[in-house]
Structure 1
Amino acid sequence: MHVMRVLRVAILLSSLVYSTAQKGRGFIGKDTGDGTAEVDQETANVLKSGLTTVFLPVLYIIVVVVAIPTNAMAVWVFLFRTKKKHPAAIYMANIALCDLLFVIWIPLKIAYHFRGNDWTFGEGLCKVLVAFFYGNMYCSILFITCLSVQRYWVIAHPLSEQRRNNRVAIIMSLSIWVFIWLSTTPLYLYDQTVKIRNLGITTCHDVSVIHNPTYPLQDVKHAFGYFLFMAVFGFLIPSVVIIVAYTGLLRILGDSPDDQSVGKKRRKSVILIVTVLVTFLVCFVPSNIMLVVHYSLLATGASDNGYGFYITTLCLASLNSCLDPFIYYYISEDFRENVKNTLLCRSSRTVDRMKVSFSSLKYSKKTNTYTSESGQTQTSSC
């Protein structure tokens, strides 16, 4: 019921503002009728500025350098080094896979900006890049939401059945991937590239045409309705769920007796909350707010003088691929141990033998030594 009301409001608002859309300025291409568009001087200045041709590609390079090895390592660890699969591991593996599927396309974005925002890779690859960009953002939000709820569930119901939780985690993961696939499908229906005649370049998702008679689906009102829908169901509602989950988590830990195990859980929970909070404040909150503001301004025909900030927030959204590995690292001791063993080139069998060998040693506090069953003595190096 509430979903239908939101959709009706979005459609009604889009219809009301579309009548003035033809008067719009600011980062909207003016259709010339020959398959190209022209932009005003303000738009041209931003497209030629150092913000889009230097700063943004450098930031994307940092994302690639950090995100590809860390997320590739995470996928490897979760798939091949983690023996005991649990709900948190399932959600984290999906986040890592989502990030990896996105960052492998970023080199195209880097080349695009370094070439003066001139897209030379064709319409198809531009659509793929745009779809994976937004798919990654909302996919990460939804899986972080599941991870946060699961963290609350483990603390609130420590005796819950593990197999049932795994089944729920798998069902939720499949549902999220289906939702992302369906929700990004409309992005393939838009012509994402626009040829700018007065600049001699072809932009990718950086310039919107108010109304293209050849492609009616490219009206700004449809884009505004789409991003409003995604902001509500892909960002706002999950954010509320995360806030409720963490509030309940902190309340439960606050009411628990102060002992070593509870203190450890409390520290891990606080680190998780801070990491997720930083990710949302840097990556998701600014980008989703500016997406709605930007397209609402275009739909009402107003000038978007904050376009530079808008395009920067979209770039910052890609930083979630760098921050997500910190969530895996701090929330899972198994992940930390498996990463260390992988970097040291230890196989799982070697680790198991080391554990068995270590467990057979008897430790003496007085002499700081370990004694094996055969009577041999080893000095602790710790």
Structure 2
Amino acid sequence: MVLESRLTTVFLPIVYIIVFVVGLPTNALAIWVFLFRTKKKNPSSIFMANLALCDLLFVVWIPLKIAYHLNGNNWIYGEGLCKVLVAFFYANMYCSIAFITCISLQRYWAIVYPLSKRRRGNATSVGISVAIWLAVWVLTTPLYLYDQTVELSNMKVVTCHDVTMPDQRTMAAGYFLTMGLLGFFVPTVVCMVAYVQMLKVLCSSMTDEAIARQRRKAVALIVIVLVMYLVCFGPSNVALLVHYSLLLAQRTNNGYGFYVVSLCFASLNSCVDPFVYYFISEDFREHVRNTFICRSQRTAERLRVSFTALKSRKNTTTTSISSGSKRSSSC
């Protein structure tokens, strides 16, 4: 019923189209700013650049997901591409969670221990980023080891990751239950503890009005980031644990519609993250503004030059015509 409903054939493609249209240019812009415009690299910018790269690698595969749902949940691109799409989907989710956790810990260290000399350098941040990429690559390997496409003869479609074969139930359930617990709940506890400690520090001793104003902005930003994190990843991982627990127990999941919708909403983090960078990083904000201001100035300059050249040619033509007229009249 879910596979034949407009929920999966209309609503999900619309959401994925929004993610693609917004996420592709914004994440590309974010990577460009972090790599080529940010002169002073710091651990936070390194983690945010990796997060943007993670989101971009996921977004470029979304058109296949859109085509799959618009085609009535019928996968026509082969088993290999289905496995790649599924692997990139979950790699994006857990890679994003890992880098958001790193950014949260970095901000925690800067706020709670601002005078500490034991700051993590760029080399350490790069090493952590490489370790996260390697870990995610290894952890998504099991997704390539069993079939992701299943042909449903009664519907005359080939599904991609929507149906699990009975003989692969144990492997799939064991994998996703482990990933849900270790990949989401453990980082979430770490983020919650870090954010609570940051809020305690920021909310204490707000005597000076200027400092209090800055701290209130920081508190609002922390709350917004935490809420977005929980909204994007919370429902999907809870639904994932429930779905595969029922699958392992060989019980029917009557909430499968909520499960696929929550996974779809998890992809929204790919187009939300660039706006988080904009509000978190003052340097990122400044570079984005300068980029658009410079582009606007260049466009205005081109228009001005073009208008001046056109006006000059027009005046030249008018002068020539006038001269010709004078010569004709004089003759």
SS of 2:158's equivalent? strand
Identity of aligned residues (%): 63
Displacement of 1:130 in angstroms is: 0.4
CA contact (8 A) 2:23 2:56 kept: yes
Which of 101, 105, 124 aligns to 1:149? It is 105
Residue identity opposite 1:253 in structure 2: L
Residue identity opposite 1:105 in structure 2: W
**Which position in structure 1 is the counterpart of 2:19?**
63
Displacement of 1:111 in angstroms is: 0.4
Displacement of 1:157 in angstroms is: 2.4
State the distance in 1 between where 2:103 and 2:120 align.
16
Residue identity opposite 2:105 in structure 1: V
SS of 2:40's equivalent? coil
Displacement of 1:266 in angstroms is: 1.9
Which of 264, 271, 274 aligns to 1:325? It is 274
State the distance in 1 between where 2:269 and 2:29 align.
16
State the distance in 2 between where 1:307 and 1:112 align.
18
**Which position in structure 2 is the counterpart of 1:35?**
none
**Which position in structure 1 is the counterpart of 2:305?**
none
Displacement of 1:163 in angstroms is: 7.3
Q: Which has the larger radius of gyration?
A: 2
TM-score by length of 1: 0.74
CA contact (8 A) 2:47 2:129 kept: yes
Displacement of 1:73 in angstroms is: 0.6
Displacement of 1:265 in angstroms is: 4.4
Displacement of 1:254 in angstroms is: 2.4
State the distance in 1 between where 2:221 and 2:135 align.
26
State the distance in 1 between where 2:217 and 2:38 align.
20
Which of 75, 100, 117 aligns to 1:119? It is 75
CA offsets, 1:149-202, max 9 Å, x none? 110111122234587432221121111111111111111112111111111111
Displacement of 1:283 in angstroms is: 1.5
Displacement of 1:248 in angstroms is: 1.0
Q: Does 1:188 align with 2:144?
A: yes
CA offsets, 1:318-345, max 9 Å, x none? 0011211121011111101100111223
**Which position in structure 2 is the counterpart of 1:131?**
87
RMSD over equivalenced CA pairs, Å: 1.7
**Which position in structure 2 is the counterpart of 1:245?**
194
State how 1:272-287 maps to structure 2 within 5 Å: 272-287=221-236
CA contact (8 A) 1:86 1:162 kept: no
State how 1:164-183 maps to structure 2 within 5 Å: 164-183=120-139
State the distance in 2 between where 1:261 and 1:170 align.
35
CA offsets, 1:71-115, max 9 Å, x none? 111000000000110111111111111000000000000001000
Displacement of 1:250 in angstroms is: 1.3
Instruction: Answer 1 or 2: which has greater helix percent.
Output: 2
Change (3 A) 1:282 1:289: same
Q: Which range is displaced more, 144-153 or 167-176?
A: 167-176
Displacement of 1:285 in angstroms is: 0.7
State the distance in 2 between where 1:125 and 1:80 align.
32
State the distance in 1 between where 2:210 and 2:84 align.
47
State the distance in 2 between where 1:251 and 1:65 align.
38
Change (3 A) 1:346 1:85: farther
Q: Does 1:307 align with 2:263?
A: no
State the distance in 2 between where 1:326 and 1:270 align.
17
Instruction: Answer 1 or 2: which has greater strand percent.
Output: 1
**Which position in structure 2 is the counterpart of 1:360?**
none
SS of 1:116's equivalent? coil
SS of 2:121's equivalent? helix
State the distance in 2 between where 1:108 and 1:305 align.
27
Change (3 A) 1:90 1:268: farther
State the distance in 2 between where 1:291 and 1:336 align.
36
**Which position in structure 1 is the counterpart of 2:327?**
none
SS of 1:195's equivalent? strand
Q: Does 1:73 align with 2:73?
A: no
**Which position in structure 2 is the counterpart of 1:338?**
287
CA contact (8 A) 1:268 1:330 kept: no
State the distance in 1 between where 2:33 and 2:119 align.
21
Residue identity opposite 2:99 in structure 1: F
**Which position in structure 1 is the counterpart of 2:43?**
87
Which ranges of structure 2 fall in alignment gaps of 5 or more residues?
297-331
Displacement of 1:264 in angstroms is: 4.9
CA contact (8 A) 1:271 1:330 kept: no
State the distance in 2 between where 1:265 and 1:220 align.
52
Change (3 A) 1:91 1:272: farther
Which of 91, 106, 109 aligns to 2:65? It is 109
Aligned residues: 296
Displacement of 1:268 in angstroms is: 4.0
Which ranges of structure 1 fall in alignment gaps of 5 or more residues?
1-44, 212-218, 348-382
Q: Which range is displaced more, 128-137 or 276-285?
A: 276-285
Residue identity opposite 1:243 in structure 2: M
**Which position in structure 2 is the counterpart of 1:229?**
178
SS of 1:176's equivalent? helix
